[in-house]
Copies of this chain bind each other. A is one copy, B any other.
Amino acid sequence: MQTTHRITTRFLSAERAAEMVAEKGLAECLRGIADYIHADFLRWNDFEKTARVANHSRDGVIELMPISDADLYSFKYVNGHPKNHRFGLSTVMAFGVLADVDTGAPTLVSELTLTTALRTAAMSAVAARALARPDSRRMALIGNGAQSEFQALAFAELLGIEEFHLYDTDPAATDKLLANLARLGLSARRFASAREAVKGCDIVTTVTADKTNATILTPDMVEPGMHINGVGGDCPGKTELHPEVLRMGPVFCEFEPQSRIEGDMQQMPADFPVVELWRVLAGEAPGRRAAADVTIFDSVGFALEDYSALRFMRDTAVELGRDEEISLIPALADPKNLFGFLPETVGARALACAA
C-alpha cells in the first residue's frame, strides 16, 4: 500500500494579505494581533529564543528571526535598507514561515512586509497599554514613513489616542501621513521640528529609518508622565534616543540579549537596568509606578511577535478562505525514495549517456 504523502504548504501573497486585512478591517487586525502577542508573551518561557542572525552589508542588513515552542516553529526573513527609497523600494521587506515542530514540515509561507507593520504597531500598543498613563490622549509621531499609519491607528484603537503630532525630516512623508490619517478619520497636525511636535504629548513614538546614531529625542524634550515608544532604533549603529533619555525612567524591552545589541540600549553599559516586558504583562515586575514617571519601551522587534502575527494571519486566512497553496516539498510515495520523485526519463537519459 503506497500512499503519496503530501505536505500542504499554505501561501499568503502580499495582495491576498492586503485584501484579507481590508475584509476583516485594519483595526480588527491590529486588535487581533495585539491579543495574539499578549497571549504569547504570557507564555514566554515556552519558547526557544535566539537573537536574530544578521548579514550586514554596506547599505543594509538581511536578518533571519527564528523561534519555536513545543508545537510550532516560525521564522521571518527581513531586510533593512534605508537607501531603498531611492530605487522606489521599501526600506523593510519581509516574509515568513510557520512549520510543524514534530515533522519539520513548512505549513505556511506568508508575506510579512505589511504584516510586520501591523505587528510592530500592535506590539507598541501592547507595551503602551501596560506602561503609558491610562489617560493618554495625545501622541507625537516622529518619523512619518511606512509604519506611521499603523502606529497611529493602533494607538487610536487600543489606547484611545485622539490627537497626533507629526514630524519628519521629509515633508512629503508628513503630507502622505496626514492624507492617510484623514482617510482613517484620525486627527493630526504637522510640526516644524521634533521638539515642537513632542511638546505636551502623553506618548512619543519615534519610528525613523536612518541607519545612524541619530538623536531624535534629547532629555530637555521629555516631560513628566511621558511614555516613550522607541521603535526605530533597532540594529547596531541605529539609535534614536539620547543616552540620558534612557536614564529618565525605567526601560522595558522585548528580549534582553537582543535589545542590548540592537536597541537604543546599545549606548548604555552592560549592567544598565532593563525589564523584559513579558514580566510586566505577567505581573512579575512593575510597569509604570506613578503618573509623573517617564517610561521607555526600547522596541527592536522580536521573533515572537512574528510568530504571533503569522498565527493570526494563518487563522484569519483560513477563516476568510484567502490562502492559496504552493508546492514546496516533494510528495513522495516512499520517503526513502526521493529519486523516485524524478520523472521516469531520468534513468533513460543516464543510460543513454552511459552508452
Residues on A lying within 8 angstroms of B by beta carbon are: 3, 5, 7, 11, 13-15, 18-19, 21-22, 25-27, 48, 50, 53, 55-57, 59-62, 64, 66-68, 70, 73, 75, 77, 79-81, 84-85, 87-91, 93, 95, 97, 99, 101-106, 109, 111, 113-114, 117, 144-147, 149-150, 153, 170, 172-173, 176, 180, 183-185, 326-332, 334-343, 345-347, 349-351, 353-354
Q: Give Cα A67 to B55, complex, Å.
A: 8
Q: Give Cα A136 to B180, complex, Å.
A: 70
Would you call the interface of chain A mostly helix, strand, loop, or mixed?
mixed
Q: Does the CB pair B337–A62 fall under 8 Å?
A: no
> For residue A18, which residues in chain B have a CB less than 8 angstroms away from its CB?
330, 341-343
Q: Which 8 A-B pairs have the closest CB atoms?
A: A79-B104, A183-B347, A5-B88, A149-B339, A146-B338, A22-B343, A13-B327, A14-B330
> When the two chains form the complex, which single residue of B66, B114, B331, B337 contacts A64, counting CB atoms closer than 8 Å?
B66
Q: Give Cα A335 to B90, complex, Å.
A: 5
Q: Give Cα A18 to B344, complex, Å.
A: 11
For this chain, the copies found in one complex come to: 2
Q: Give Cα A67 to B64, complex, Å.
A: 11
Q: Does the CB pair B153–A350 fall under 8 Å?
A: yes
Q: Does the CB pair A14–B180 fall under 8 Å?
A: no
> When the two chains form the complex, which single residue of B85, B97, B351, B354 contacts A336, counting CB atoms closer than 8 Å?
B85
Q: Give Cα A343 to B23, complex, Å.
A: 9
Q: Does the CB pair B117–A103 fall under 8 Å?
A: no
Residue of B nearest to A110 (CB): B328
Nearest CB in chain B: distance from A206 CB, A: 16
Residue of B nearest to A180 (CB): B339
Q: Give Cα A70 to B354, complex, Å.
A: 40
Residue of B nearest to A113 (CB): B330
> For residue A345, which residues in chain B have a CB less than 8 angstroms away from its CB?
22
- Which of A68, A99, A339 has the most chain B CB atoms inside 10 A of its CB? A339
Q: Give Cα A89 to B102, complex, Å.
A: 11
Residue of B nearest to A52 (CB): B53
Nearest CB in chain B: distance from A198 CB, A: 21
Between-chain CB contacts (< 8 Å), 11 pairs:
A14-B341, A25-B349, A48-B56, A57-B102, A60-B102, A61-B104, A62-B68, A93-B105, A111-B329, A146-B336, A326-B326
